[in-house]
């Protein structure tokens, strides 16, 4: 679930809520004054952590070039099966 940032329309207090996407528009009242919360948009961190990204491409030292996903996927299957 994503973390959303809100600011109270009455007192200006900032708060974060861990909510499912379906409830992001209705976060509930401000924890300080019970006023309405307005969603703020802020930066997010994204980490691409799967086979085929530069972080995992290094597991195939003899790869002919960047983007050889088939070789990386085969290596991932061998690792998952307990092989090397």
**Residue 49 or residue 72, greater confidence:** 72
Q: Per residue, what are the HEC states of 15-61? A: EEEECCHHHCCCCCECCCCCCEEEEECCCCCCCCCCCCCHHHHCCCC
Across the range 7-21, mean pLDDT stands at 93
Q: How far apart are alpha carbons 15 and 39 in whole angstroms?
A: 10
Mean pLDDT of the chain: 78
- Domain boundaries along the sequence of the chain: 3-40, 47-84
Q: How far apart are alpha carbons 44 and 5 in whole angstroms?
A: 11
Q: How far apart are alpha carbons 21 and 57 in whole angstroms?
A: 32
Q: How far apart are alpha carbons 15 and 10 in whole angstroms?
A: 13
Encode pLDDT of 25-64 as tens digits.
999 999 999 999 999 987 766 666 666 555 555 555 565 5
């Amino acid at each position: 679930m994503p973390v959303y940032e809100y600011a109270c329309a009455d007192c200006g207090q900032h708060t974060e809520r861990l909510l499912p996407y379906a409830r992001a528009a209705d976060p509930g009242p401000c924890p300080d004054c019970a006023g309405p919360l307005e969603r703020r948009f802020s930066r997010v961190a994204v980490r691409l952590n799967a086979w085929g990204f530069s972080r995992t491409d290094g597991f195939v030292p003899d790869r002919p070039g960047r983007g050889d996903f088939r070789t990386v996927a085969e290596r991932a299957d061998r690792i998952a099966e307990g092989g090397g």
